[in-house]
Structure formats: structure tokens, C-alpha cells
Copies of this chain bind each other. A is one copy, B any other.
Amino acid sequence: MKLLEDRIREQGQVRPGNVLKVDCFLNHQLDVDLLDAIGGEFHRLFAGQGINKILTIEASGIAIACMAARHFKVPVVFAKKAKSKNIDGEVYTSTVHSYTYGRDYDITLAKKFLGPADRVLILDDFLANGKAMRGLLDVCRQAGATVAGIGVCIEKGFQPGGAELRAEGYRVASLAIVDAMGDDGSLTFRRQED
């Protein structure tokens, strides 16, 4: 998606440790016009798949999922990263390793919001090693839901998450795939078909 790639080139910042900061528009400050365009693009890519629910994980994924859900006209449900007293006992749980935070955490989703009748589009901001995505897929497996597609804004193509998921047969759409990040801040995007 050229609009997103252009924005990453303009405002993304490459940091040591393969960190790509996009906090100006995607995951701390949010450019809602851009998110709306991203949501429309996910709809273009996954329309006709019978999707009836969008699944994401807090926090940044919520913005993307909501803006996409407007186009699909389906509800969003998001997995939570901490167990609150407000959540009833009936939850799916999966453990995720976070490279960003350097620790494991549990994600939870109330069982009443996902079941065998659901055809799910999973959306998130980043796909790198794919650990958070594995947690969401595990939740879908527990629920007996069908994963109709996986959409991410930015995939780090030099990390294995996306390739592994595609090899397993998942339909993964990444709106921008960064194949290389140079020490000078340069970015190489993978060419993708429209």
C-alpha cells in the first residue's frame, strides 16, 4: 500500500535492535485518516470472505480494527493483555512472549465473544516474529472459529512470522513489508502485487 509505505519513509524511524518506530501515526499518535484508508484496504483485500468478526489485541490493534470494521460492518473483539476483576471466569487464555517487553504475558478473551460460527479476520499493527499472532490464532482454535484471514499494517519481512504463517496456509496480507532496515535509517520494501 503506497500510502502507508510513503508515510513510513517520511515519518518512520529506524532504531538499533531492528526497531521501527511509527509512533507518529500508527501506535501512539494515531492518524485517523490514514487508519481509515488502511481499513478500506483491508476491506478490499478480504471482502467476500464471509468475515463476521474482526479480532485484534490491545492496544494499538484496536484503532486499526475499529477503522476496518466500519468498512466490513462487523463487530470488533479485542484480546486483553491483563486479567481484570471485571472479566468473568469464562475466558480463552493463551501465553505470548513479547520481545518488546522481554517477558511472557497472558492474553484473554471472553468465550461469549468467539465461537464455531465465527469467520474471523485478525488484524494487528505489526507482524515480526508472530508471537502475538500465535496467541490470537490459539484463541481462535480454542473457540473453534475459522480464521478467514490475517491482516497487518507492517510486516518485518526479515523476521520469520509472516513466512511461517503463509507456509501453514494462512492468507496473510501485509500492507507494507519491510525486507531490510539499514544502519543509515534506509528502508527496503518488498514489491507486492496489488
Contacts and interface: CB of A to CB of B under 8 A. Distances in A.
B28 A80 contact: yes
B28 A70 contact: no
B76 A30 contact: yes
Given A59-B59, A59-B80, A86-B23, A66 B101 contact: no
Given A28-B78, A30-B62, A59-B59, 13 more contacts: A17-B85, A28-B109, A29-B76, A30-B76, A30-B78, A32-B66, A32-B70, A32-B75, A59-B80, A82-B101, A85-B101, A85-B102, A86-B100
Most chain B beta carbons < 10 A, residue from A60, A78, A87: A78
B29 A75 contact: yes
Contacts of A175: none
A132 to B, nearest CB: 13
Contacts of A78: 28, 30, 59
A186 interface: no
A32 B76 contact: yes
Interface in A71-87: 73-78, 80-82, 84-87
